[in-house]
Amino acid sequence: MFFIGFSSINGCTSQTPPPETYQPEGLYEEDYSSFYYYLYEGYLGLAKQEDNENDVADHALFSEKAQRVNNGRIVEPQQLNMRRIPEHAYEELKVARHALMQAFSLGSKERLPAPSAQAQVMFDCWMQEQEENFQQHDIDVCKRDFFKALALIAPQPTTKAEPETRVAKVEPCACDEKPAKKEPAKNKQPPEFIVYFEFDKDHLTKTAIATINEVKQAVNEWKPKTVVLSGHTDLAGQNIYNEGLSTRRVTNVLNGLILAGVPENKIDISALGERHPAVRTPDGTKKAENRRVEIHLVL
């Protein structure tokens, strides 16, 4: 599938009205900069592409989603259980949808309607292509465009004043040191934690697992409202690949925390790829300190 951008969509089949007739009742009045207008156009674009590929089922699905938006109904990103997603891709899509819904809950639809709609449409595109699982280029296009849109709307991590930093660190991969001894909290701030990864890897080392167990102890002690995870990579490799790698890393830390006993509903996650390196380096540079998942306890 080659997805046509919002500005170039001219319509679909007779099953859905063309964009110029779009006036969903109850959502807005002739507001062609609304999230719902862009969402409508986006689903029409997906429907048209599936029609061109003779994919009757997905053409009908995306046409129906466009029509539901046109009728003033709320249409959410597709649930994972509505597609047969290959096991290797399930967790990455789960994290991606969580990040998208988090951005929506913080008002991105109102603040940034076009990229918010683009993110939702491209998530559904990614889901559809991943279920088919035989056109890697099409999967990558949908996934790339999803992450590009998500990068515009996702909440950025905030920095607290003088937090204590918990780092399990070693050179060159920062993966095999014992966790640092626990120190008293300064200025009544909870500790922060960093899980490091080997180059081009997403698995948890023994040190990472030990750090996760210390996070669980800190959660019991501080009782935070939220545990915020942000996944990162260094600047080696392509942007789209690093988006996926950071997603896999933060997913594995999320799963580790859940297994350790941290409630899933307390955890917020984001995958930031190479956009926020801990240490600034030229593009293409391998750097151990940048291959990480940061963990913040928000009281």
Q: Which amino acid is at 165?
A: T
Residue 206 near residue 246, CB atoms below 8 Å: no
The span from the first CA to the last CA of the chain, in angstroms, equals 44
Domains of the chain and CATH, by start: 6-11+28-153 (no CATH), 165-298 (3.30.1330.60)
- What is the C-alpha separation between 236 and 2, in angstroms, rounded? 27
Residue 297 near residue 190, CB atoms below 8 Å: yes
pLDDT at 160: 43
pLDDT at 208: 92
Q: Which amino acid is at 197?
A: F
pLDDT at 239: 85
pLDDT at 11: 33
Q: What sign for the dihedral angle of Cα 69, 74, 79, 81?
A: negative
In order, the DSSP letters of 73-115 are ---PPPPGGGS---HHHHHHHHHHHHHHHHHHHTTHHHHSHHH
- What is the C-alpha separation between 279 and 165, in angstroms, rounded? 15
pLDDT at 148: 84
Q: Which of 292, 269, 296 is nearest to 192 (CA)?
A: 296
Q: What global pTM score does this model have?
A: 0.54
Low-confidence ranges of the chain (pLDDT < 70): 1-32, 155-187
Q: Which amino acid is at 151?
A: A
